[in-house]
Amino acid sequence: MITVDWPLADEEFATLLDHVELLIALMMSAILLMLWLAVRSPKIIVAILVTLFAGLAITTALGLAVIGTFNLLSVAFIPLFVGIGVDFGIQYSVRYRAERHALKDLEAALLSAGASMGPPLTVAAAATAACFFSLTPTDYAGLAQLGFIAGSGMIIAFLLSGTLLPALIKLLKPKAEEAEIGFARLAFLDRFLHRRQCEILASTSILVAIGLSLLPFLSFNADPLDLRSQRTESVASLLDLMKDPDTSPNTIDILVPSLASADEMSSGGGCAAFGRQVGAAGESGQCGGFLDGRRSCARSEHRAHATARGPRPAAGERRNLAGGFEARVGRAGRTSARASLHERRCQ
């Protein structure tokens, strides 16, 4: 009972709590440090954090309403939303600080920052959301759900950064900016980027071309077990069972009408024909090529053998028994062909 679905799922979600306190502390420390370096105002930091977690709550509610429950993949939208969604607030707030220094008026600075950052943030949000939404057509439910939730979250974060965040800043009334915004010691980087923009674009294009040329060599591991922690009892036990064809879950029993049919099944051709009927035939058309339709293992081990129930009677006795046996059970023979299709996990 330790390898059935419910203990596997229970231990899978339990792994999410491994070192969760440390991870949350590190995440919040990194976010607070980044926010302080960007805005240098406790009130603006509070406004950004409230906007961020409001967006996270709305995205979570939307995901629960549309999908129902999260799995180990779809729940990954939380760090994605926090890590990417906070950037919208930072971009708007930094621009607000620059406008506040130039215009001296809070409301005018908010409006000017919105007019300046609206178009670039719209493009950034649309591009990011499109990347996540591109996962939704996949047959893998976890990735499809993650794409929908994360893509919707980017749109929500963008909308809140242009509505809730300015309202909170106006409500909190942070102090005016006395000095020019930015890091004077890093001004040489701005000058370098302006002088070398053509070289930087050319280098980036070359790197993109190299990456695209390597795409055909990209391998995809479709085994869901590799997403689970092998330290848990259920997964470790399942992997041990899969090493033995007699206990592997990738084993089927096929009842055939005669020993001749069992021999044909054992030869491989019959197994391939059966596989095609159930939609799981291998690309090689042989029993040794048993695949999962949507998955392909580079190496697999398959065995098919026929086992007779009881000792084989003599020839005369077989003729006497055949009529009565077939009369009782129809055309089905007394032989069970067992095709043990044991698939090794992809290395």
Mean pLDDT score across all residues of the chain: 75
Residues 313 and 194 grouped into a single domain: no
Residues 46 and 181 grouped into a single domain: yes
Question: For 174, which DSSP code?
Answer: P
Residues 146 and 95 grouped into a single domain: yes
Of the residues 154, 179, 206, the one at which a domain ends? 206
Instruction: Find residue 268's DSSP bridge partners.
Output: none
Of the residues 146, 177, 206, the one at which a domain ends? 206
Say which residues have a Cβ less than 8 Å from residue 12's Cβ, sequence separation at least 6.
72, 228, 229, 232
> Would you say residue 218 lies in a domain?
no
Least confidently predicted of 40-44, 182-186, 252-256: 252-256
158, 88 in Cβ contact below 8 A? yes
Secondary structure of 215-245 in the HEC alphabet? HHHCCCCCCHHHHCCCCCHHHHHHHHHHCCC
pLDDT of residue 210: 96
Residues 29 and 126 grouped into a single domain: yes
pTM to 2 decimals? Answer: 0.62
Which residue matches tokens 């044909």? Answer: 264
124 pLDDT band, cuts 50/70/90, is very high
284 pLDDT band, cuts 50/70/90, is very low
Q: Which residue has the higher pLDDT, 91 or 276?
A: 91
> Would you say residue 345 lies in a domain?
no
Residues 76 and 180 grouped into a single domain: yes
What mean pLDDT do residues 177-182 have? 80
> Would you say residue 222 lies in a domain?
no
Total domains in the chain come to 2
> Would you say residue 181 lies in a domain?
yes
Which residue matches tokens 């020839």? Answer: 315
Of the residues 206, 236, 265, the one at which a domain ends? 206
Cβ neighbour number for residue 117 with a 10 Å cutoff: 21
Residues 158 and 100 grouped into a single domain: yes
DSSP string, 80-146: HHHHHHHHHHHHHHHHHHHHHHHH--HHHHHHHHHHHHHHHHHHHHHHHHHHHHTTTTSS-HHHHHH
pLDDT of residue 305: 38
Q: What is the CATH number of the domain that holds 91?
A: 1.20.1640.10
Q: Is the pLDDT of residue 239 over 80?
A: no
> Would you say residue 40 lies in a domain?
yes
Sheet with strand 335-340: strands edge to edge: 252-255, 335-340, 303-308
Q: Is the pLDDT of residue 313 over 90?
A: no
Q: Is the pLDDT of residue 13 over 70?
A: no
Q: Which residue has the higher pLDDT, 235 or 6?
A: 235
Q: Which residue has the higher pLDDT, 301 or 208?
A: 208
345 pLDDT band, cuts 50/70/90, is very low
Residues 310 and 177 grouped into a single domain: no
Q: What is the domain range of residue 298?
A: 244-340
> Would you say residue 228 lies in a domain?
no
> Would you say residue 233 lies in a domain?
no
pLDDT of residue 254: 72
Residues 71 and 181 grouped into a single domain: yes
DSSP string, 32-90: HHHHHHHH--HHHHHHHHHHHHHHHHHHHHHHHHHTSS--TTGGGHHHHHHHHHHHHHH
The token pair that represents 269 in the structure block:
């051709």
Q: Determine if residue 294 is left, alpha or beta; phi over 0 gives left, psi from -120 to 50 gives alpha, anything else beta.
A: alpha
Percent of the chain predicted with pLDDT > 70: 65
Residues 174 and 304 grouped into a single domain: no
> Would you say residue 221 lies in a domain?
no
